[in-house]
Amino acid sequence: MDINCEWIEIKDPQNTETYYINPTTGECSTKLPPNAILHHTDPNGEWWELFDEQNDLNYYYNTLTGQTEWLKPELGLIIPLSAIQVTDIPSYPANEHPPPLVKNDSYTPATLPPQLLEEMNQFKVDGFAQKYFSVHKKGLFRKKISMEKLLQWSKDSLKQPLLVLSRPAQRDALKCFKNILYFIMSLNPGFTSIMGDRAHVKGFALSKDIQWLLERAITLGELRDEIYVQLCKQLTHNPSSQSLYHGWQFMCVLTITFPPSKNFEKYMQTFIRAHFDIKQSKIDVLSKHTYNKLLKISKSGPRGKVLTAEEIEQAKESAFHPTVFGESLSYVMEMQAQTYSNLKIPRILLFLAESVLTLDGQKSEGIFRLSGDPEAATLNAEDPREATKIVEQLPEINRIVVHFMLNFLQLFTTDEATGHTKMSVANLAMVFAPNFLRCPSENLNEIFEKTRHEQAFVKTLLEHMRPTPVVPLKSAL
C-alpha cells in the first residue's frame, strides 16, 4: 500500500462517523495509516464524484446541500469516490453483525458501511430524475418548476409528460395521467370516467379506462416509465388516505402487467421500499406486495395481453388475498404459519395430492397429461446416488417438499397405476420436471437445452429414490 498517496477524510451523512479513504487504491479504514497525507473535510461542503453503473455515467453529490448533478461542477473541490463505491459489500447471516472496519496496523482494504452505500444509491435515483425528466415551467414568466414539486401529488391534469417522450407518445401520456387521476378518485360522487361512463362504487365501470392504459403500455414501451412515474407522483404527499389506498391498488395492477425499463428499475425499487413502514391506508402491506411483483415482472417481461376486468379486480385485492402459485416455498410457508403451524409442507400441496387420490387419480387415463415422449429413448440414466445426494443438500423446506412429491408421484409408477393412467415414469418426469427444477437463465435456447437433463434427473429420482413419508396421505393408506 502506498501510504504516501493523499488520504481523504469523509463523514457518513447518517451517523457522522469518520472514515479515511484512499481514492487511488479504493482502500477504506476507520484509522488513518501512519505517515499518510491527510486531506481534511471542508466545512463548506465538497463534491463527491460517484458512478451510476446503470447509466454508465459519473455524477456528483454535494455533501453540504445534498444536491446531485450529472455535469461536473466548475467550482469547489471534487473527491473521486468511484473506486470505493463499486467495492462489493460482504453479506452476513441475519443473526450476525458485520465486523467493524479494520482498526489494526495492517490496514487491510475494507468497504464503506452499507448505510452509507444506501445513501449513495439514493443519490443515483435523484440523478436519474435530473437526467430523464422533462423540464416543466409555469406562469407568465415561464418559471422552472423544481423537481421536488414536479413529483408531488396534484389535482390538476399535466400540461406535458413528466419524462422526455417522442411526439406520438405525448398525447397518450397525458391521457394516461387523467386515467390515473380518475382511478384514485373513483369513489367520489358524480365521478365520470374518461370514456364517458358514469362510475359506480361497485362493478367494473372503470375497467375500460384501466384496460386502455394497460394496452397502450404493452404496445408502446416508452409509455411504461411515464405511467409508473405519474403514479409515483400521485402517491407522494397525497392528502387523501382513500386516494392513497386506490393508488397503491393501481400499482398492484401495473406490477403484474408490465415492468419499468432497466434504467428506471432502481428508481421504482427505491420509491416502493421507502413505503414499507407506512401503516396509513395499509401502505406497508401494499408496498411490500408490489415490490415482490415488480422484481418478478422485471425478470419475466410484460404480459402479452391486457388483463380482463375480473383479473383487474383480483389484482387490486391481491395484497390481502395472496396466491400460493408462483411464490417461493419460504413465502408460502410464512403465509400459512398462523393457521397450519405444525404442517411441514404447503397446505395446498397436501390438499391437491389427497384430492387426486380420493378421485381415483391412479385409475384415470392420461392423469396430469398424456403426452408422447419422443426423446424418452435418448434420456441418459443419471447416477441415483448423486441425484439423491443433491436432494439431501437442499434447504429443509425444499427437501421436505421433494420427499412429499416423490412419495406422491411414486404411487403412479406401479404397474397397476400405469395400466390405468397410461403415464410412464418418463411421462411423469416430463410433466413435473419444471416444478422440481427451474433454469435460472432467461435465455430460451439454454432453457430448452437443459430441459432434457432436468427430465432425466426427475426420472432418476422417481425410479431409485426412497423418499421419507413426512406427511401421510390419507387416501393412500
Q: Would you list the DSSP string of 373-441? A: -TTGGGPPPP-HHHHHHHHHTS-HHHHHHHHHHHHHHGGGSSHHHHHHH---HHHHHHHHHHHH-----
Mean pLDDT of 438-456: 78
The residue with greater pLDDT, 343 or 195, is 343
**Three-state SS at 297:** helix
Q: What is the Cα–Cα distance from 46 to 469, expressed in whole angstroms?
A: 65
In the predicted structure, residue 260 carries a pLDDT above the cut 90: yes
Contact 169, 222 (CB under 8 A): yes
Mean pLDDT of 111-116: 47
Give ∠ CA 171-174-179 in degrees, rounded to 5.
Answer: 125
* Largest interatomic CA distance in the chain: 86
Contact 207, 154 (CB under 8 A): no
Contacts of 239-244 with C-beta under 8 Å, sequence gap 24+, read 239/153, 241/280, 241/281, 242/187, 242/281, 243/184, 243/185, 244/184, 244/280, 244/281, 244/283
In terms of average pLDDT, the best of 35-39, 187-191, 249-253 is 249-253
Mean pLDDT of 355-383: 62
Residue pLDDT, tens place only, 85-96: 544 333 334 344
pLDDT-derived band at 146 (thresholds 50, 70, 90) equals low
Mean pLDDT of 388-398: 87
Q: So what's the pLDDT on residue 219?
A: 92
Domain ranges in the chain are 6-83, 156-317, 347-464
Contact 452, 418 (CB under 8 A): no
Q: So what's the pLDDT on residue 477?
A: 47
Residue pLDDT, tens place only, 178-236: 999 988 876 444 444 444 444 444 444 567 889 999 999 999 999 999 999 999 999 99
pLDDT-derived band at 344 (thresholds 50, 70, 90) equals confident
Residue carrying C-alpha cell 418426469: 429
pLDDT-derived band at 353 (thresholds 50, 70, 90) equals confident
In the predicted structure, residue 342 carries a pLDDT above the cut 60: yes
Q: So what's the pLDDT on residue 226?
A: 93
In CATH, the number for domain 347-464 is: 1.10.555.10
The residue with greater pLDDT, 134 or 169, is 169
Strands 18-22 and 47-52: unpaired
Q: What is the Cα–Cα distance from 348 to 314, expressed in whole angstroms?
A: 19
Q: So what's the pLDDT on residue 390?
A: 87
In the predicted structure, residue 335 carries a pLDDT above the cut 50: yes
Give the least confident one: 75-84, 247-256, 360-369, 389-398: 75-84
For the full predicted model, state whether its pTM sits above 0.75: no
The residue with greater pLDDT, 61 or 298, is 298
Neighbours of 413 (CB within 10 A): 16
DSSP summary character for residue 212: H
Contact 329, 349 (CB under 8 A): no
The residue with greater pLDDT, 25 or 425, is 425
pLDDT-derived band at 12 (thresholds 50, 70, 90) equals low
Q: So what's the pLDDT on residue 63?
A: 75
Q: So what's the pLDDT on residue 263?
A: 82
Contact 121, 271 (CB under 8 A): no
Q: So what's the pLDDT on residue 126?
A: 52
In the predicted structure, residue 422 carries a pLDDT above the cut 60: yes
pLDDT-derived band at 47 (thresholds 50, 70, 90) equals confident
Chain centre to alpha carbon of residue 79: 33
In the predicted structure, residue 408 carries a pLDDT above the cut 60: yes
SS3 content of the chain, % helix, strand, coil (to 5): 45, 10, 45
Q: What is the Cα–Cα distance from 334 to 328, expressed in whole angstroms?
A: 10
Arithmetic mean of pLDDT over the chain: 76
Mean pLDDT of 229-248: 93
In the predicted structure, residue 396 carries a pLDDT above the cut 50: yes
Contact 78, 109 (CB under 8 A): no
Neighbours of 123 (CB within 10 A): 20
Mean pLDDT of 122-128: 50
Residue pLDDT, tens place only, 161-171: 988 888 889 99
Class in CATH terms, 156-317:
mainly alpha
